[in-house]
Amino acid sequence: MTTVRLDAGWELPPISDESALSTYLTMGTPENRQAVFDSLDAVALAPSIGDNQSQMQDVVTEKLTEAAAGRLTVQEALDQAETEVNALLG
């Protein structure tokens, strides 16, 4: 599969094997393929807040949805989300 992606030329290959990657970097047009990799150093990734991050996001989304639907006040939704997220944080 890596060969197919490399042969296509324009797709950034999801590999860390430098020998396979060198083929991609020397393929020609566009001339500066290395710039794609260099620019990744400037990308800011969102911090991970632990093993339960997705559950915390689900809790907050659920509570905000309840508030938007009028089933909870905004304050109730925030209070419940705080309690549940803190429990997940330990």
pLDDT band at 35 (very low <50, low <70, confident <90, very high): confident
Cα dist from 85 to 5, 13, 45, 73, 77, whole Å: 41, 37, 22, 18, 12
Q: What does the domain layout of the chain look like in residue ranges?
A: 2-42, 53-89
**What pLDDT was estimated at residue 55?**
96
Average pLDDT over residues 49-65: 94
* Number of other CB atoms surrounding residue 24 within 10 Å: 21
Q: When comparing pLDDT for 18 and 60, which is higher?
A: 60
The yes-or-no verdict on residue 33 having pLDDT over 60 is yes
Angstrom CA distances, 68 to 50, 73, 75, 76, stand at: 27, 8, 12, 12
Claim: this prediction has a pTM higher than 0.85: no
Q: What is the mean pLDDT of the segment spanning 65-81? A: 98
pLDDT value, residue 87: 96
